[in-house]
């Protein structure tokens, strides 16, 4: 590895974790590398039928509406202004219709589906039914391995849950963040612990194959007692999956602006504290019979409770994202939709695909993308990369792996790479060390 690359890897590992800014790595190369000029190869790809055996295809459906924006939230979200929700849902169904008629996607069944937001569960019964029926007119997920729907505790009803179940949803993911009313209020959550308990009981009565509960470690006002007390209460509910994210504070969040204004009560936990709490949480989950399956998620049964949306993406599956700001990875091309609700609706009103920016990865970049993302699951197989890309990952990434090994973050063997528990809790900070040199010093988004 060139000396300049070694220096950059060392710098990435030695760099202190920033108090603010983007942290979570969801794609590669970073979004800032994607450009409007990248649309041309994306459109060309859509115009050609698959060459050979097509990879699994997934669908992401973005519902960017919320009752109120949480203080730490950096996702695009809106209130229902001037009846825009109905126009938006119709626009998404129309967007999927356009894609479904392209040679590249025509007739391809869906392997996995994910409804995220925003808050998908705030949609009314009428809107939910219309959305599900509209999407299923233009896509086939009858044999999908997993269909996930995100819910917020206060907006869950049994009627909605039955509709979701009957529409093919197999996995419900509920963002509860913590089981402490004081912490929830301090972070702008609109629900209370009682809402979580009510919603969870309804979800169990209706019946889904997998229920995931989301927690966040490091929230404003959190203490050791509030976090681990919340974790114990969640473990007591026995969901199939528990996901614990570490709080990050991107520059577009209300929390960041409050910190900049010098809010006296705004004191999120440090990264050292978040890492320590997450690592202890993983041990506590294992003691309760859960298996840690990624940097964020533990499951009761790793054979039955897999997260196919994540596994398939990280393994190179095609993903079509619809809705404002949604991003896709199709045919080795990253693509993101127009990021504002206004421009998205204008494009759809014209009957256009709402494309904004894209990036066509070469073979080496595809390999790096999959390696980086699979590190988040905790291990990478040498044999799999040798077969798929003809690359020996232990040689290609030798220097960052050696540096990470000396720090206690990675273990290597002939089988591949294993991320240690110390590495797993800080994996998103470590990943840029594995980027190609031209992508290591660029802005994330």
CB neighbour list of residue 26: distance below 8 Å, 6 or more residues apart: none
Cα separation, 52 vs 65, whole angstroms: 39
Distance from C-alpha of 256 to C-alpha of 71, rounded to nearest angstrom: 8
Q: Please give the pLDDT value at position 182.
A: 94
Question: Which two three-digit tokens encode residue 441?
Answer: 């010093």
pLDDT at site 410: 98
pTM of the model: 0.93
Residue 380 and residue 383: Cα distance in Å, rounded?
Answer: 9
List of the chain residues with pLDDT < 50: 1, 3, 6-7, 72
- CA nearest neighbour of 285 among 263, 302, 303: 302
- CA-to-CA distance for 130 and 92, rounded, in angstroms? 12
For residue 10, the model assigns a pLDDT of: 54
Collapse the DSSP code of 245 into the 3-class scheme (helix H, G, I; strand E, B; otherwise coil) and give the result.
Answer: strand
pLDDT at 169: 98
Give the Å distances, CA to CA, from 413 to 188, 294, 382, 405, 419.
46, 20, 9, 11, 12
Per-residue pLDDT reduced to its tens digit, 333-359:
999 999 999 999 999 999 999 999 999
Q: What is the pLDDT of residue 373?
A: 98
Q: Write down the pLDDT at residue 1.
A: 46
Q: How far, rounded to the nearest angstrom, does the alpha carbon of residue 373 sit from its chain's CA centroid? A: 11
Domains of the chain with CATH codes: 1-29+362-445 (1.10.10.920), 36-312 (3.80.30.20)
CB atoms closer than 10 angstroms to residue 62? 24
pLDDT on residue 407: 95
Helix (H) or strand (E) holding 440: none
């Amino acid at each position: 590895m060139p000396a300049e690359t070694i220096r950059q890897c060392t710098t990435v590992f030695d760099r202190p974790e920033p108090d603010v800014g983007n942290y979570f790595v969801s794609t590669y190369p970073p979004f800032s590398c994607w450009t409007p000029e990248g649309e041309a190869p994306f459109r060309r790809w859509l115009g050609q039928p698959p060459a050979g055996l097509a990879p699994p295809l997934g669908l992401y459906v973005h519902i960017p509406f919320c009752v109120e924006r949480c203080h730490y939230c950096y996702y695009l979200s809106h209130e229902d202004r001037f009846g825009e929700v109905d126009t938006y849902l119709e626009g998404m169904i129309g967007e999927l219709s356009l894609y479904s008629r392209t040679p590249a996607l025509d007739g391809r069944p869906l392997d996995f589906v994910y409804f995220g937001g925003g808050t998908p569960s705030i949609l009314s019964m009428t809107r939910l039914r219309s959305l599900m029926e509209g999407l299923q007119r233009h896509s086939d997920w009858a044999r999908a391995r997993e269909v996930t729907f995100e819910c917020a505790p206060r907006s869950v009803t049994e009627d909605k849950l039955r509709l979701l179940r009957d529409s093919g949803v197999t996995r419900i993911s509920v963002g509860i963040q913590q089981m402490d009313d004081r912490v929830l209020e301090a972070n702008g959550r609109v629900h209370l612990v009682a809402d979580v308990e009510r919603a969870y009981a309804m979800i169990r009565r209706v019946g889904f194959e997998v229920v995931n509960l989301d927690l966040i470690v490091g929230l404003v006002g959190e203490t050791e007692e509030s976090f681990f007390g919340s974790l114990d209460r969640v473990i007591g509910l026995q969901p199939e999956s528990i996901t614990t994210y570490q709080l990050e504070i991107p520059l577009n969040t209300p929390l960041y602006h409050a910190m900049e204004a010098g809010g006296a009560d705004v004191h999120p936990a440090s990264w050292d504290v978040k890492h320590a709490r997450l690592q202890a949480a993983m041990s506590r989950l294992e003691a309760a019979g859960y298996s840690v399956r990624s940097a964020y998620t533990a499951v009761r049964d790793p054979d039955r409770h897999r997260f196919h949306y994540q596994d398939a993406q990280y393994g190179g599956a095609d993903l079509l994202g619809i809705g404002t700001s949604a991003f896709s990875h199709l045919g080795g091309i990253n693509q993101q939709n127009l990021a504002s609700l206004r421009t998205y609706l204008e494009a759809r009103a014209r009957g256009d695909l709402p494309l904004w920016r894209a990036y066509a990865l070469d073979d080496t970049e595809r390999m790096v993308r999959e390696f980086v993302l699979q590190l988040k699951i905790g291990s990478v197989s040498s044999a799999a990369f040798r077969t798929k890309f003809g690359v020996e990952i232990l040689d290609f990434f030798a220097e960052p792996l050696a540096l990470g090994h000396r720090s206690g973050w990675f273990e290597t063997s002939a089988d591949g790479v294993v991320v240690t528990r110390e590495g797993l809790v800080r994996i998103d900070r470590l990943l840029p060390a594995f980027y190609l040199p031209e992508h290591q010093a660029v802005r994330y988004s």
